[in-house]
Structure formats: C-alpha cells, structure tokens
Amino acid sequence: MEPWKQAEMVYEDSMAARYDFHYYRSPVSQAHLREFFNLIRRHALRDQWILDVGGGTGAVTERLLNDRHTRVDTVDLSLAMLLEAKKKMPVLRAIVCDGEHLPFKDDAFRTIICSSVLHHLPFPDRMLKEIKRALAPYGVLIAQEPNQNHFLTRPESYPVNSISTMIMHYLYRIERYEPVGEPPIHEYHRAFTRQEIVRLFTDQFSILHFRSEFAFSCLFSKLRSPIMTRIILAMDRCLRRKDGSVFHIVCSKTDVGHRNLLKNYFRFLETLRQDPDQRMPGLILFSLLPLIVLGRAYELYERIRSKLGKSIY
C-alpha cells in the first residue's frame, strides 16, 4: 500500500471514536448533512444498489437506511471508522478496502456517494476513475467537497467577514462554548478551488448539478442553540449567490445531452414537418434515431438488471 494511504488509515483509525462528536454534533452540522441528504434523495432510487465510498462512521449511510433504502453498501480504508458505523447500524454491509480498487463488478451501482473523501487524496482522479467503472451507465455520483475560496476568505469581503466573526464570538460566549481540542489536520488534506473541482469531475463525468453551499453558516458549525441555528441558516439562503464552504456535485458518466435528445426528438420532427426548408437537417436527425433508441433500450436493460438484484460482486 502507498505510504499516504497507510498514513490516512492510521489517522482515521485514531479519529474514529471522536469523529461524530467533532463533525456531526451541532444543529448546524446536522442541517448541512440534511441538505446534502436532500440532494441524494432527489437522485437515488429506493430499490437500486447504492454505494457510499469512504463512508466513515456512516453519517450518510445511516440516513439512507432510515429512509428505507435497503440496498446500501459502504467501503472505507479505515476499519475503526467502519466499526463505529456498525455500532450504529448492525445490519450495514461494510467492507474495508481502498476506494481506488473497489471489489465490485463494472456498472454495479445506480448511485454512488462520495462525501468529503476526495480532498483526503493526493490523486483524487484515481478514485473517480474507479467510481466511474463501478457506476451504471445512467447512474449518478453524488459528492461533496470543501471549497478553498469561500467568499468570506476574500479580501473584498473583509467588512462582512469581521462582522460575522464578531457575531460568532458573541454567540459562542453566550453559549459558554468551551473549545474542545480540534484534531490535527492531516498533511495530505486540503480544500479544492472551484476550477480544480470542476476540472476533476468534468475530466470523467457530465455534471448534472453543481453548487457551493453554506456561505454563512460554516462559521457557526459548533453553535448549539436551535433557534440561532435557524437564523444562521436563513442567512445562508440570503447569500445563496456567494461562494459557500462546500461544493455539492451530481454527475453521470453518460452524456447529459443523450438523456435529453430523445425527449426533444419528436418535438424537432414536428417543427421540421411544418418547415420545408429544413428537410435536409431533418433527414440527418432522422438517421440518428436508431442510435438514440438503442441507448434508451440499454438504459432500460440496466434498470431491469439491477432491479432483479443480480450479484454486484
């Protein structure tokens, strides 16, 4: 195993017991998780296989199981992280393995989730390549990763930033927040710039959804008061157009255009029928029909295959 994976394993093993306490305890971090899960719900089908790569202590997986998704697998490099997940969900199928070498057949999963994992890797493209192999042709990869260029970190946002920081300190003082020793950041961990993340995903996938979220609430991730949390989250909505602290990405390995082509095909034909000047492009378009129909037939075949529950290993 490469030295950075060995180092990552040791780091995550040492973090496992306090991971949920540090990252999922506060109402703000729970709200962030809920937002990401809502995105997953919009794309994941209940009766199809879902894989959580680098699933850790199972924060996302637990929500999937609670939402009656029964066909869920999780893989992670760290045994200790998966044991924490198993404590919460004894029925969970968890496999210790490297996300760059998944023990599954090609095209096995309709949905793959990759939550806050790629920024732990020196070569994130390798894991994405392996995810692409295991993803069904019309499947979706749903990911979230931290944003390096959050708008509050920019020099032009200095006034907003200083006011927000004052509010943050004030709220923490009211709540008598006692800082708990934060775990050290691992030397390989970092955040992505918008350009980096877009290039990373578009090199291998078609992006269906891309947003950065939590422009304001990221400062308040340790706040305890539920009422203040609501106000802070409302601020996020006001600052929707600004760069937030986390990127949410949904992508597919099948060309997005192909999905829409058939939908629009007959609409085009109808327009062409009414306009004799457009016969030639019409004929070209017509000759593409068999290809489009074949593509849709293949998608149907994939859906039926995964519904019948054929082995994915």
Ligand X SMILES: C[S@@+](CC[C@H](N)C(=O)[O-])C[C@H]1O[C@@H](n2cnc3c(N)ncnc32)[C@H](O)[C@@H]1O
Cβ–Cβ under 8 Å, residues 244 and 150: yes
List binders of ligand X among 31-70 (CB under 6 A).
Answer: 54-56, 59-60
Q: Cβ distance 166 to 98 under 8 Å?
A: no
Q: Which residues contact 303 (CB under 8 A, 6 or more apart)?
A: 48, 110, 138
| x-or-dash string of contact with ligand X, 71-110, rule CB under 6 A | ----xxxx--x----------------xxx----------
User: Interior CA angle at 119 toward 116 and 121, to 5°?
Assistant: 120
Q: Minimal distance in Å, beta carbon 173 to ligand X?
A: 29
Using CB under 6 A as the binding rule, whether residue 145 contacts ligand X is answered as no
Residue type, 174: I
Is 138 or 192 the residue whose CB approaches ligand X more closely? 192
Quote the least distance from Cβ 259 to ligand X, whole Å: 28
CB closest to ligand X, residue no: 56
> Residue 101 to residues 11, 44, 104: CA-CA distances in angstroms?
20, 23, 9
Least distance between ligand X and beta carbon 72 (Å)? 13
Residue 4: closest CA among 127, 183, 104, 131: 127
Give 185's DSSP letter: P
The CB density around residue 57, as the number of other CB atoms within 10 Å, is 28
Question: Which is nearer to ligand X, 121 or 219 (by Cβ)?
Answer: 121
Which of 116, 217, 229, 252 contacts ligand X by CB under 6 A? 116
Pairing of strands 93-96, 72-76: parallel
Q: Which is nearer to ligand X, 59 or 140 (CB)?
A: 59
Residue 117 found at the interface with ligand X (CB under 6 A): yes
Rounded-to-integer distance, Cα 188 and Cα 22, Å:
19
CB-nearer residue toward ligand X: 79 or 285:
79
Q: How far is the CB of 77 from ligand X (least distance, A)?
A: 4
Footprint on this chain of ligand X (rule: CB under 6 A): 5, 8, 12, 54-56, 59-60, 75-78, 81, 98-100, 115-117, 120-121
